[in-house]
Amino acid sequence: MGERAAAGGGKWVDVAPERLARWLENFERRHGPYRETGLTLTAADGASATWLTPPGADEVTTLTELIETAQRPRTLGLLLARKGAVAVGIAEGPKLIASKVDTHYVQGRTAAGGWSQQRFARRRDNQAKAAAADGAGIVGRILLPNVRAMAALVTGGDHAAVAAILAAPQLAPLAAVRAERFLDVPEPRHAVLVSAIAGARAVSVLVKEP
């Protein structure tokens, strides 16, 4: 699904739950037979693969358990925010069953030394606060009534924008089930929200080549 460099070496790879068995077959074909130590595989050529449980899945200790729990249907909340745009949804398995997308104008930054820089900065700050308040309202309407059914809340976009929305006191129950995973997504739109489901459900594996 996607790859990114890992701090300290290696790469993170996101694997769809339905493709875990195929991924393991390919790993063995490339690197030879492997042994399991908890959630870490070590292949004959020295390559390793360390797995993380996906958001909302039960904690496990073996790869067999990981595959089972990752493929088990679960409900995830989604909150994507960037600047003045917000996309909120509920996913059951790979399907989006409820959603709301909204855009609130937030002025861009002005160049340093502009004649009215402070005035523009205050205006931008007020617009950002208004966007966060509107986003919190949408999150409250779409996600909060369903928080007990959610295995986790997965967020993405811009860290500051997401934090500003979840800072609303009424959203504390959602903040409590927020997953560590943070999705790198462009400006939230409905299509972006739909595609984010795959990233929210994926199983991440740290791969280190020999």
Structural domains of the chain, with CATH: 2-73+202-208 (no CATH), 75-201 (3.30.420.60)
Q: Give the pTM.
A: 0.87
Q: Are strands 11-15 and 95-103 parallel, antiparallel or unpaired?
A: unpaired
**Mean pLDDT across the stretch 23-48?**
96
Phi/psi class of residue 108: alpha, beta or left (left: φ > 0; alpha: ψ in -120 to 50)?
A: beta
Helix, strand, coil shares of the chain, percent, nearest 5, are: 40, 30, 30
Residue 12: strand pairing partners? 4, 206
179-199 confidence digits (pLDDT tens): 999 999 999 999 999 999 999
**Mean pLDDT across the stretch 34-47?**
96
60-80 confidence digits (pLDDT tens): 999 999 999 999 999 999 999
Residue 106 has pLDDT above 50, yes or no: no
Residue 161 has pLDDT above 70, yes or no: yes
pLDDT at res. 105: 45
pLDDT at res. 104: 59
The secondary element (H helix, E strand) that includes residue 98 is strand 95-103
pLDDT at res. 107: 47
Alpha carbon distance, N-terminus to C-terminus of the chain: 22
Residue 108 has pLDDT above 60, yes or no: no
